[in-house]
Structure 1
Amino acid sequence: MYKKLDTCYDQIVHPQKSRSLRVLLDSIMGRIVELKHEMSDLEKTEFQPFDDIIQDLKITPDDVSLSVPRYYIHGRSESYTVRQKVLHQMIEQMDAESKTKDGEKPSMNLDEAIKVLQMHERARQGRLRAKFMWELSMEEERKRKISKGLKVLSEADAATMVQKKWRGYIARQKTKKARSEELTFIGMRPGEARPVETDELKKAKDTEDIRRERLKKHEIDYQRALVDIKQNLYVSKGPAIKEELQDQIRQWFIECRDNSGKFPDYPDEEEGGSAKLFVNKTPEEIEAEIKAKEEAKEAKGKKGKKGGKDKKEKKEKKGKGKKGKDKGAAEEDPGWKMKPSKFNEDVDGRLTDYDTRWKFRDESHNVSQRHDEEIIKEEKILEVEEELRKEVDVIMREELENLKAALDKDKGKKGKKGKKGKKGKKGKKGKKGKKGKKGKKKGKDLTADRTPESLYQELIKQGIIKRPERVMLEDYLGEFSYLGTTLRSMQKEGQPSTWDIKQMLTLYGILPLGSETVHENAPLVKSMLLAGPPGCGKKLLVQAMANEVGANLFDLTPENLVGKYPGKSGLKMLIHMVWKVAEIFQPSIIHIGNAEKTFYKKVPKAEKPLDPKRIKKRPAKADERSKSWQTHPTRGNEQRPVYDKIVMVPRPCYGDRKIIIEKRIYDKLEEIQTAFIDFSSLAKMTDGYATSQIIQVINDTINERRLNQVGRKPIKTEEFIVELAGHQPIFAEQEDAFTQWFEKTPIGKKRKKILSPDEGGDVGKGAKKGKGGGKKKKK
């Protein structure tokens, strides 16, 4: 449902339908996030295996994978493009300045320049002389062999030799072609999963881009129509609406005067003004009001009859309550119930809107799918009425005061001017009190005299705001976990797969960061710790998320803060600037690499210049679309309660490695040039190595020099082994240390208790016995 709505919202060019779809799409995104939190709280784990469900429903992992909404990229605002231009320009300027500084060399005088030229010219002449002498020696050797009577081949023998070589070449080509056709037939051709850019796909992409451009043009026309139609309604129907409202209010004056003998008090603007008087009520609401009034009258008459009956009733109720409790205790636990969703109202509203407005609407004349003027008139007439009502209220209040004054004059009474003044004073006092409270909440702004743009530029110059590398979430390559359910049936907790990690980051990070609706209503994840061995893609995930949602990337890694904003005042200014800029230019991601260093009990001597403990805990506000993403696990237990979510990013499994190796090699070589590479064997040999190490081995093996030789000397599997031997793998002890650390986290403990409840029970009993056995301890 989410994927289909995402496609609809991306491709529908009708501006009014597009708005309804946006609300519905955001609501469903928020509902999916709610479901993820519910599943996480229920199972005490962030990863749920879907392999059994996929098998039962006969679908693929791609069918249930959550992609990033398309409007996150195609519907970005102009402010984002302006920020990106400023960021690119300043970084390029800083790079140019650093290059000029590094490239400055002492000037060379004329004599030194002549010596350098002479040296290179002599070397060139020497190479030419050596080549000439080699050719002479080869010619002399050939003549010497001929003079000794070396056998010269006849034409027939020479032709036979050429034929033999040619037939061997043709046979090898035929064998290679037959092997390729066989692999294609059985569906095991290497590299066949690579998407091929066909003419049809290219045409479809061009059509999608055309529709997006058409929606932008229709949106401009729609915004212009909103203003024009509202102005026309003011001119054409405004006087009639105003006169009708005045007549209704005057009629109300007369009816109240006839019923009570005096004019009523006019409702204040805060209470809704005259809109409060003419609220359309259903017959059921009117009957409920009449019943409530009758019950209130009966209650007043029966006040004196209360006493002993109430006490008896209370006793009976208490007795019933106790019995009910006993019954409930005897019954079984009703089980888990899902919390009510905050997005149901929006979804129901959009469905009702469709049924009442679009379902039976004839749009055969609107082939180009432009805005519908009748719908705009229906919406704008209400706005015109509301604005005119406020104007009418001002006029009718004065008219009512005049009527009251005239009536009091006839009766010989004075006007009530004193009360009016008191009301105004009270209102002023209330306003002052509110302003004072707001001032206390905001606190002191350390950069009140500076513009947000200047703060943004300063943070770029200091290297705090960085440009993320051009990677997306799809560049984090890996496989789906097909054995998750099997492992859980064996009471084992497997490592999360690449697919699981991408899904979790999409739900907890990308969807709330990119959508205000999801951020405001769905459960909020303020900070997350990405833990795992080095080189497994933690930093890539942070940069990919920043690119997916167009977020600012703040780098508060201890190594990046060395020498920047020194002292307590400098640190205070840095934190203030970062959070102020992050709040103004939302969404934002704050990245702290090597997060465990900020929680050192005692800083090692080698890392004292970094001062890693400068950055303290500072949670994000609920209304800020900024998140803190730390990478690398802690060496202690101090920081576990700081993070809302902790994710283990493991080293790649066999399936992940095979996909990474194929993708990287095919980016460098053509399919024919990979005939002698066994990808499966390479994936097995790289077991234990991190993703960055595998990529580095491929880059070092297939370098520029080796690429030039591929035509006459194909690359073989053995060449990668030589480079792989120079890297140190991630040993089992190191990976076990990460697993043991994760089991001590809050969610790890809860999950372990679910998997092995007996162990948790034994620990609890032991603790109770230890407390009671004080004499044994003394002995």
Structure 2
Amino acid sequence: MLYVRYLQIFRKLVSVYDQVVHPQKRQVIRAILDGVMGRVLELKNEMVEKEFSEYHYMDDVLHDLKLTPTDLEIPIPRYFVSECSKQIQEHKRILADILKMVEVNESPEPLITKVMRQEEAIKIIQVGERARQGRLRAKLNEASRNMNRMYRIKDPGTVGIELAAVCIQKVWRGYIQRKKAKIARDEEMIFLGMVMHPKYQVPRPAEITVQATEASTRIKQEEYEEDYQKSIVTVTDQLREVDGPDMIKTMKDQLRQWIIACRVATGSFPDYPDEEDGGSTLILAEKHPLQLKEEIAAKEEEESNKQKGNEQKKEKKGNDKDEEEEAGLKMLPSAFLSDLEMGNKTFVDFWKTRNESKNFSQRHDVELIKEEKRRVIEEEIRIQVDEQMRQELAEWKLAVDKQKGGKTKGKAKKKKGSKGGKKKKKEKDLTAERTLESLCHELVEQGLLKKPKNVKLQDFLGDYSYLGTTLRQNDIEPMPSLSDVRQILALYAVLPLGSQVVHEKAPLIKAILLAGPGGVGKKMLVHAICQETGANLFDLSPLNIAGKYPGKSGLAMMLHMVFKVARLLQPSVILIEDAEKMFYKKVPRDEKELDPKRLKKDLPKSLKLIKGDDRVLIVGTTKDPQSADIKSLCKMYSKIILIPRPDYGSRYILWNQLIKKQGGEVTKNLDVGSLAKISDGYTPGHMVQVIKSVVTMRRILQQTNRPLNAAEFVVPLAKIDPVFQEEEEALKTWYAKTPLGKQRIEAATGKEDEEAPVKGKKKKKK
């Protein structure tokens, strides 16, 4: 229920962020939007850990809240692509230029001239000539038959004319009556609400107006944001020039008074607080010198006592753990609730009661910029003043107290600490002298950096699973629908890659494995992730890297280049097609020359280098996971998503939408329901293949006289082998051996064992 509520807030905030043009308000909304996105991901992670399943069925929650399945769709904010930083935009422009350059330079394959014997050439010419003569002869015969028919016609007389008139009347009256019946039937269906009125099938004037308004709003957003950034620079320079000298003088006077007061109170000059402790911020808090000295001394004692306190807390938690578990389900601590509270506080303090009647155009507020930037400038000036005052205090000590070495000792300590901290070896940069452009050019030429196809996540069509909760209540594990797969990838891949804040704080997912039969749309989903987030696509598939960068040094160089460019051009997606080949139990003879297990050891090592700051995701696809070592595969991919063949509802939507996309018209003559029924076991890829073979350009032109019907699709569909039940069961069995599958089976079997003796208690807990 909480997850659905957060999704509703998320959807509303996305639309609000798209419509607001005030740049400072958009910053507040953006912070809250990132927080809500992260909270949704945290709740999803908790549901997976509690239910031991990647898929959750919420049809009962939707029924209670009176919502529709579309309310559960994960919205993808537009700013993932539109509001990239200038550096990322520059990198993308360079990469686009390189891709175009490589496409132009690729020369077409030379035509291979085949040596032909004289007899074969003569035979081809004879066949063509005989066909031409046959067509000419057929035309002459048809013309002669028409001439003979004209000579045979005699005067029909009055009786023949009447019979002809009656025949024409019958045909005409039948045609008119059928037309009236069709109109009446359509009107009835529209009245009952079973068919949409034709006037609503085309864009209405209101919809066109809304689209134009949205376009103008986006232009205003860009214009106002540009003015806001210019104003920030202007105001900052102005504050630094006008108020800067006064700030420096005031700070120095306060600090000198404090130093003198310490000298009077203690009899000696105090030690200036280090930058790590806060520097002059501790002094400017208007505290008494003795009190400040005691606080600095007490800090060291607190740090030493922290460890003891933590150990005691752990012991207490261990003793009270059983009582807390009995109290009920406890939510894990969130990394985003503090951000949401801060955003809400900012809204309440600044914007809730603010009078915006004079700012009709929603331009930025200069006074807010001044308040914000004054704090930044004060912090900059404070650091400069601290350095000057440390030198001044050292001079006072030398002149008055003749104390030497106090400052140098502190420096020596710091140096020792810094030396001790640099024990970890940094990763060696094998391409330190090369530019990013040259690295991109080489990767594009080698086929390791590719341009993603222009597909969206919504193009992965599929219907919602309406009976998931009902089946689970009857101890039947339902197969996930394609709609569930689309939502999971939006959560695990699109949202973290699109937002840096979300990626840093949300549960880190480095690698995802998409498992399913061929044709279900695994590669399409990878390209959709790249398009929705503006990510770059790197291809490290075993077949793609075969023969490239040979040897251990070449392999190390290839991985270093790919991961270095992926981090610099983030967000990035690294595709590994046929991921099972990297972890083969036994390499087939045909593939031994390709060395598919080449990345087995080195790629997991490179995967460990990906941190929370790096928006880099590895996505593997496999249709035969049984042939791989399951332990190595599961160790590499933290998330394994099983994509099934489509159910009846998804097949109905697929046939309908794909035929329309190809240019066909879905009329009453085309029984889509029957097509969806007989295509059980076929994947979306099979359906696309069949539709392309049937709905050709010539067939599209013939639709007015001969509409499409279901029988035309049956023959080409029958020539393709479907996904048989055995293959699907094999995938289910394999998934049950994965860590999450094992946990779910253990939870289910444990529940069944305890049902008899503790039946009443179980029900209460549930």
Q: What is the TM-score when the length of structure 2 is the normalising length?
A: 0.85
Alpha carbons 1:542, 1:629 under 8 Å: kept:
yes
Distance 1:330 1:590 in 2: 46
Distance 2:331 2:426 in 1: 37
Structure 2 CA distance for partners of 1:753 and 1:151, relative to 1, 3 Å? farther
Is 2:684 the counterpart of 1:691? Answer: yes
**Aligned residue in 2 for 1:337:** 330
**Structure 1 position 454, deviation (Å):** 1.2
Alpha carbons 1:554, 1:578 under 8 Å: kept:
yes
**Aligned residue in 1 for 2:78:** 70
Which is worse superposed, 122-131 or 391-400?
Answer: 122-131
Which of 642, 650, 653 matches 1:656? 650
Structure 2 CA distance for partners of 1:53 and 1:260, relative to 1, 3 Å? same
**Aligned residue in 2 for 1:543:** 527
**Aligned residue in 2 for 1:267:** 273
Structure 2 CA distance for partners of 1:668 and 1:578, relative to 1, 3 Å? closer
Which is worse superposed, 710-719 or 45-54?
Answer: 710-719
**Structure 1 position 518, deviation (Å):** 0.9
Spell out the pairing of 1:439-454 with structure 2 (5 A cutoff).
440-454=424-438
**Aligned residue in 1 for 2:761:** none
Is 2:48 the counterpart of 1:55? Answer: no
Alpha carbons 1:536, 1:690 under 8 Å: kept:
yes
Structure 2 CA distance for partners of 1:605 and 1:370, relative to 1, 3 Å? same
Which residue type is aligned with residue 567 of structure 1?
G
**Structure 1 position 600, deviation (Å):** 1.2
Aligned length: 712
Distance 2:204 2:327 in 1: 56
Structure 2 CA distance for partners of 1:648 and 1:270, relative to 1, 3 Å? closer
**Aligned residue in 1 for 2:187:** 181
Structure 2 CA distance for partners of 1:589 and 1:156, relative to 1, 3 Å? same
**Structure 1 position 101, deviation (Å):** 3.1
Provide the secondary structure at the position in 2 that maps to 1:340: coil
**Aligned residue in 1 for 2:304:** none
Is 2:168 the counterpart of 1:162? Answer: yes
Alpha carbons 1:90, 1:461 under 8 Å: kept:
no
**Structure 1 position 54, deviation (Å):** 0.6
**Aligned residue in 1 for 2:393:** 400
**Aligned residue in 2 for 1:601:** 585
> Over residues 191-231 of structure 1, what are the superposed CA-to-partner deviations in whole Å (9 max), with x where a residue is unaligned?
99997433322221221121122111111111111122122
**Aligned residue in 2 for 1:411:** none
**Aligned residue in 2 for 1:210:** 216
> Over residues 445-476 of structure 1, what are the superposed CA-to-partner deviations in whole Å (9 max), with x where a residue is unaligned?
22122112211121111111122221111011
Which residue type is aligned with residue 163 of structure 1?
Q
**Structure 1 position 650, deviation (Å):** 0.3
Which residue type is aligned with residue 355 of structure 1?
V
**Aligned residue in 2 for 1:376:** 369
Which is worse superposed, 190-199 or 462-471?
Answer: 190-199
Distance 2:199 2:485 in 1: 22
> Over residues 507-566 of structure 1, what are the superposed CA-to-partner deviations in whole Å (9 max), with x where a residue is unaligned?
111111111111111111111111111111111111111111111111111221222222
Structure 2 CA distance for partners of 1:196 and 1:751, relative to 1, 3 Å? farther
> Over residues 567-617 of structure 1, what are the superposed CA-to-partner deviations in whole Å (9 max), with x where a residue is unaligned?
222222111111111111111111111111111122111122322101224
Distance 1:221 1:267 in 2: 41
Spell out the pairing of 1:722-733 with structure 2 (5 A cutoff).
722-733=715-726
Alpha carbons 2:463, 2:650 under 8 Å: kept:
yes
**Aligned residue in 2 for 1:666:** 660
Which residue type is aligned with residue 474 of structure 1?
Q
Alpha carbons 1:593, 1:630 under 8 Å: kept:
yes
Alpha carbons 1:554, 1:591 under 8 Å: kept:
yes
Distance 1:331 1:422 in 2: 51
Structure 2 CA distance for partners of 1:150 and 1:33, relative to 1, 3 Å? same
Structure 1: gaps spanning 5 or more residues: 107-114, 297-316, 409-414, 763-779
**Aligned residue in 2 for 1:765:** none
**Aligned residue in 2 for 1:146:** 153
Provide the secondary structure at the position in 2 that maps to 1:554: strand
> Over residues 160-193 of structure 1, what are the superposed CA-to-partner deviations in whole Å (9 max), with x where a residue is unaligned?
4333333333233333333333333334339999
Which of 2, 11, 31 matches 1:3? 11
Is 2:251 the counterpart of 1:245? Answer: yes
Give the RMSD, CA atoms, in angstroms.
3.5
**Structure 1 position 119, deviation (Å):** 10
> Over residues 465-500 of structure 1, what are the superposed CA-to-partner deviations in whole Å (9 max), with x where a residue is unaligned?
122221111011111111111111111111111221
**Aligned residue in 1 for 2:308:** none
Structure 2 CA distance for partners of 1:140 and 1:371, relative to 1, 3 Å? closer
Alpha carbons 1:753, 1:760 under 8 Å: kept:
no
**Structure 1 position 340, deviation (Å):** 1.1
**Aligned residue in 2 for 1:390:** 383
Distance 2:244 2:71 in 1: 54
> Over residues 100-148 of structure 1, what are the superposed CA-to-partner deviations in whole Å (9 max), with x where a residue is unaligned?
3335879xxxxxxxx9xx999989995895476235412432245237x
Is 2:478 the counterpart of 1:494? Answer: yes
Is 2:555 the counterpart of 1:561? Answer: no
Which of 141, 146, 149 matches 1:134? 141
Which is worse superposed, 637-646 or 648-657?
Answer: 637-646
Which residue type is aligned with residue 232 of structure 1?
Q
**Structure 1 position 740, deviation (Å):** 1.0
**Structure 1 position 250, deviation (Å):** 2.4
Which residue type is aligned with residue 559 of structure 2?
I
Which residue type is aligned with residue 637 of structure 2?
Y
Is 2:237 the counterpart of 1:231? Answer: yes
**Aligned residue in 2 for 1:416:** 403
Is 2:703 the counterpart of 1:710? Answer: yes
Which residue type is aligned with residue 22 of structure 2?
H
Which is worse superposed, 445-454 or 337-346?
Answer: 445-454
Distance 1:675 1:10 in 2: 40
Structure 2 CA distance for partners of 1:640 and 1:271, relative to 1, 3 Å? closer
Distance 1:195 1:265 in 2: 79
Distance 2:397 2:323 in 1: 69
> Over residues 249-270 of structure 1, what are the superposed CA-to-partner deviations in whole Å (9 max), with x where a residue is unaligned?
2222332232223333333444
Structure 2 CA distance for partners of 1:156 and 1:127, relative to 1, 3 Å? same
Structure 2 CA distance for partners of 1:152 and 1:660, relative to 1, 3 Å? farther
Which is worse superposed, 232-241 or 363-372?
Answer: 232-241
> Over residues 659-686 of structure 1, what are the superposed CA-to-partner deviations in whole Å (9 max), with x where a residue is unaligned?
0001112234565x62211111111010
> Over residues 335-367 of structure 1, what are the superposed CA-to-partner deviations in whole Å (9 max), with x where a residue is unaligned?
331111111111111111112111222221111
Larger Rg: 1
Is 2:457 the counterpart of 1:473? Answer: yes
Alpha carbons 1:26, 1:515 under 8 Å: kept:
yes
Alpha carbons 2:519, 2:686 under 8 Å: kept:
yes
Provide the secondary structure at the position in 2 that maps to 1:680: helix
**Structure 1 position 23, deviation (Å):** 0.9
Alpha carbons 1:87, 1:460 under 8 Å: kept:
no
Provide the secondary structure at the position in 2 that maps to 1:442: coil
Distance 1:88 1:173 in 2: 55
Provide the secondary structure at the position in 1 that maps to 2:732: helix
Structure 2 CA distance for partners of 1:280 and 1:197, relative to 1, 3 Å? farther
Distance 1:104 1:90 in 2: 30
Which residue type is aligned with residue 254 of structure 1?
I
Is 2:443 the counterpart of 1:463? Answer: no
Which residue type is aligned with residue 492 of structure 1?
I
Which of 619, 622, 628 matches 2:618? 628
Provide the secondary structure at the position in 2 that maps to 1:518: helix
Question: Among the aligned pairs, what percent are the same residue?
Answer: 43
**Structure 1 position 274, deviation (Å):** 2.3
Which residue type is aligned with residue 664 of structure 1?
L
**Aligned residue in 1 for 2:341:** 348
**Aligned residue in 2 for 1:27:** 35
Structure 2 CA distance for partners of 1:199 and 1:280, relative to 1, 3 Å? farther
Distance 1:276 1:573 in 2: 50
Distance 2:553 2:265 in 1: 71
Is 2:567 the counterpart of 1:583? Answer: yes
Distance 1:368 1:394 in 2: 45
Is 2:675 the counterpart of 1:682? Answer: yes
